[in-house]
Amino acid sequence: MMVMSVGCANDIIVKFMGQRLDATQVIFFRFFFGFITLLPFAISEGKQVFKSKQLGFNIIRGFLGAISIFLYTYSIIYLPLVEVVAILWTIPLFVLILSIFYLGEEVSFMRWIATIIGFLGLSFITLYDGETVVSFKWLYIIPILSSFLFAVQDVMIKKIVDNEKRITMLLYFAIVTSALTFIPALLVWKTPTPFECSMLFLLGAGGNLIQYFIFKAFSATDLSALAPFRYVEFLLSAIFAFIFFAEVPQTNALIGAAILIPSTLYLAYNENKKQ
């Protein structure tokens, strides 16, 4: 529940900041202030915080994280918030497919059916305008690709979370992502106001909280087992998008969500039975 609440708050901050600042700069400050908020904890750990048992994994995850969060940030700024959040529900579907190849898991026939139904829900969001089927909206490639890359990272986290300190994973992620986005941010630089700096600081701190809670979740179970809590984020996003940005959920988002919900619920139920 905390992941969804903090995630929703971060989405609102991103959409607000994106009204004046470029998405590249917003995402740099998210990573940079994430690094700043980690420093006190890293210092308390001493030099051993840099001793990683999975250095290659951490660097790759940072690289993928920079790309996926940039794509997600861009989506939040330029697309309806509720639709982007709904598209993010495809993460468990991508995780299921990736787990076959990366974790060697066997997938039952019914889980495949649930996955296919889930992607059908995605098609309503990206192809349906509320009355008729239209041509694919190419801008939706951005959040879909972001979801896929988030799924890749979820599988990676599941693989290493029990063998690596969480503070070490957070620190390397912050360092790699900050370094990768620094120069691109300079190219579109606008000096943030004091208020924007405070919001961006909260964005960075919130990003660390999200990762920390995800690590905790993966230590206990597969993230797909927690999928029902994502529907709280959908509801909160719809409410705040209406309050702050006058966005009203369109028919395509509601239909797509109505199809995605039962498919991801089934996957969560199935995952819980395996525990």
pTM of the model: 0.78
Percent of the chain at pLDDT exceeding 90: 24
Which of 40-54, 58-72, 254-268 is modeled with the greatest confidence?
58-72
Residue 270: its pLDDT value, please? 63
Backbone φ and ψ for 101, nearest 5 degrees, come out as -85, -35
Examine the pLDDT at 50 and tell me if it is beyond 70.
yes
Examine the pLDDT at 52 and tell me if it is beyond 70.
yes
**DSSP track, 48-68:** GGG--TTHHHHHHHHHHHHHH
Q: Can you give the length of the chain in residues?
A: 275
Which stretch of 29-43, 175-189, 231-245, 252-266 has the lowest confidence by average pLDDT?
231-245
Q: Is 254 exposed, middle or buried (0-12, 13-18, 19+ CB in 10 A)?
A: middle
pLDDT band at 254 (very low <50, low <70, confident <90, very high): confident
111-141, pLDDT tens digit by residue? 677 777 777 777 777 766 555 455 556 788 8
Which of 144-148, 157-161, 223-227 is modeled with the greatest confidence?
144-148
Look over the chain and give the mean of its residue pLDDT values, rounded to a whole number: 79
Backbone φ and ψ for 191, nearest 5 degrees, come out as -65, 120
Higher pLDDT, 205 or 162: 205
Residue 230: its pLDDT value, please? 54
Q: Which residue has the tokens 């909260």?
A: 202
Examine the pLDDT at 176 and tell me if it is beyond 90.
yes
SS3 193: coil
Residue 127: its pLDDT value, please? 67
| Cβ–Cβ under 8 Å, residues 34 and 205 | yes
Residue 45: its pLDDT value, please? 84
73-105, pLDDT tens digit by residue? 888 888 888 788 778 877 777 877 787 777 666
Residue 108: its pLDDT value, please? 66
Higher pLDDT, 197 or 138: 197
Torsion sign (Cα): 179, 185, 191, 195: negative
Residue 272: its pLDDT value, please? 54
The token duo for 142 is: 């951005």
Higher pLDDT, 222 or 180: 180
Residue 77: its pLDDT value, please? 86
Amino acid (one-letter) located at 152: V
Examine the pLDDT at 31 and tell me if it is beyond 90.
yes
pLDDT band at 49 (very low <50, low <70, confident <90, very high): confident
